[in-house]
Structure 1
Amino acid sequence: MFELSFDLAPFAVKARLFLIPTPIASDTVLQTLPASVLEVVPTIRFFLVENIRTARRFLASLKQNIPIDDLTFVEIGKHSDPTVVLTQYKSWVEAGTTIGLMSEAGCPAIADPGNVWVQWAHQWGAEVLPLVGPSSLMLALMGSGLHGQCFAFHGYLPIDTQARVQKLKWLEKQSAALHQTQLFIETPFRNQTLWKDLLQHCHKNTWLSIAANLTAPDQLISTYRIGQWHQKNFAPPKVPCVFLLMS
């Protein structure tokens, strides 16, 4: 959390922060978002978003006659000034505003920016309202057949080959020690490099699952042991993927 000198006492008027899920595959709004989301979003006029262009495109795709040009957006991406964002955000909460928080795809604050703004909402006494929607991590875990009672997400693995291999070996050890499914992701153009490292350096009895392009018409979810993957002529597509490992 940012170390800024704002008063943390709850404000008199209770603001609301809706955590708005967005599709993780193109043209899947109606298939992946429930009616409750489609009803709430058009009522919101102030948004914290990872990317303004993506947010505007999503709102237009709802086809709810939302007056997009009349809305106020503040970007919370990695190039944003957190002090500027927090100042604007604080003024909204202080006024008892209803605010929407969106990432570029999926559920905000889950493997995406947003958690710090949720923390501030709690500090200021705002009501936090997460909405139902697609999460690639949960869908991948559900579809993998691997242990769903104990799991951990590690984000992106190191780009450096040696460091990445060391990380994979550590994940295998953690999985065996804790009986824990390990989840991680990669930039699509590096999927095949990661896949080669997995097959080369992980034990033949380790389970490996891949979930690619989830919720899209061509989605793929497949789980085999490393030794079985060696017998298949498979290369992961250059699309968003979740990788799951369990030893």
Structure 2
Amino acid sequence: MSGTPGTLYLVPNTLDFGIEGAQAAPLNDVLPLGVLQRAAQLRHWVAENAKTTRALLKRVDGIVPLAAPLQELSIVELPRPAKGAKAPPPADLRPLLAPALAGHDLGLISEAGLPAVADPGAALVQAAHAAGIPVVALPGPSALLLALAASGLNGQSFAFVGYLPVEAGARDARIRELEATSRRLGQTQLMIETPYRNAALLAALLAQLKGDTRLAVGCALATPEGFTRSDRIDGWRRRPTGLPADRPAVFALLAG
């Protein structure tokens, strides 16, 4: 690398996933103007999903004109591991950083929320640090933190555990393990699921958790139809709440 490198900007996305027909909040209600202005200036992008990135930039252009036409922007997707692959070797991400190494600012964007948080972009951030490229995270919505803040559960000590096993027996065992960990540490446990399995995960949580454990679910957060419910498991069982199969949700539990 010669000369001064560009900066890798971690640009937040909305949480509506650009779902067709979804009623989205106005973009400038979700993302700060400074973020929109920075995004509009960037001509080079690394994205989790190029389609959702183009959709967001089209919305940005309606508020802050893009520095170049959308079709002229460079948008490269992060490599995706092959389905069913177990512990694939780490990809060489240095080629994706070529614009920054050549002195151009580069945007990293997730399909939704903050890049590099519960997101494959973390590996690119690590590669940028190793290459001496400055990294700047821009402020925006994170479903995990919004769900935690609205839950009323312990926000001083918490852990994000990602997805639970799909197979019912393994999933039930993992739920009991997380409840035991939460009780021992007084720690909130956060998890997510593919939206079409929201109902199955909620049913498993209600079946496996003890009645005095608290469960919070934040669904479709930062959209007009979003909601959070937080209650003891006994309360959830008395008053069931259905979850949509096409909106993302964050689940949080805290054992007493």
Does the TM-score normalized on the shorter chain lie above 0.5? Answer: yes
Aligned to 2:251: 243
The equivalent of 1:38 in structure 2 is: 36
Distance verdict in 2 for CA 1:79–1:163, change over 3 Å: closer
SS of structure 2 residue aligned to 1:214: coil
Which residue, 193, 200, 203 being the options, matches 1:193? 200
Map Cα deviations across residues 169-199 of structure 1 (whole Å, 9 max, x no partner).
0000110111100000111111111111111
Partner of 2:222: 215
Query: Paired residue for 1:65?
Result: 65
Note if contact 2:10-2:108 (Cα within 8 Å) is conserved in structure 1.
yes
Q: Distance in 1 between matches of 2:100 and 2:224?
A: 40
Measure how far apart 1:128 and its partner are. 0.7
The answer to whether 1:171 aligns with 2:184 is: no
Displacement, 1:96? Answer: 1.7
The answer for the alignment partner of 1:76 in structure 2 is 78
For structure 1, the residue ranges without an aligned partner over 5 or more in a row are 1-9
Shift of residue 86, structure 1, vs aligned partner: 2.7
Distance (whole Å) between structure 2 residues aligned to residue 79 and residue 36 of structure 1:
34
1:23 partner amino acid:
T
Percent sequence identity over matched residues?
Answer: 37
Q: How many residues align?
A: 236
Residues of 2 paired with 1:209 and 1:87: CA distance?
41
Q: In structure 1, give the amino acid aligned to 2:56.
A: F
Looking at structure 2, the residues matched to 11 and 136 of structure 1 have their Cα atoms a distance apart, in angstroms, of 39
- Compute the displacement of 1:131 (Å): 0.3
User: Which amino acid letter does the alignment assign opposite residue 20 of structure 1?
Assistant: V
Does residue 1:122 correspond to 2:129, yes or no? yes
Contact 1:210 1:243 (8 Å CA) reproduced: yes
- 8 Å CA contact 1:49–1:77 kept in 2: the answer is no
CA contact (8 A) 2:43 2:74 kept: yes
The whole-number CA distance in structure 2 between the counterparts of 1:36 and 1:137 is 23
Q: Please state if 1:225 is matched with 2:216.
A: no
- The amino acid that maps onto 2:12 is P
Q: Which runs of 5+ in 2 are unaligned?
A: 19-23, 83-89
Measured at CA, do residues 166 and 95 of structure 1 come closer, stay the same or move farther in structure 2, by a change above 3 Å?
Answer: same
Matched, 1:160 2:158: no
The equivalent residue for 1:17 is 8
**Contact kept? 2:6, 2:105, Cα under 8 Å:** yes
Counterparts of 1:141-160 in structure 2, within 5 Å, are 141-160=148-167
For residues 205 and 79 of structure 1, the distance between their equivalents in structure 2, rounded to whole angstroms, comes to 40
Where does 1:79-118 land on structure 2 (aligned, <5 Å)? 82-83=91-92, 85-89=93-97, 91-118=98-125
Deviation at 1:11, TM superposition (A): 5.5
Moved beyond 6 Å, runs of 4+: none
CA root-mean-square deviation: 1.6
1:59 deviation in Å? 0.2
Cα distance in 2 for partners of 1:96, 1:86 equals 14
On the 8 A contact 2:216/2:231 being kept in 1, the answer is yes
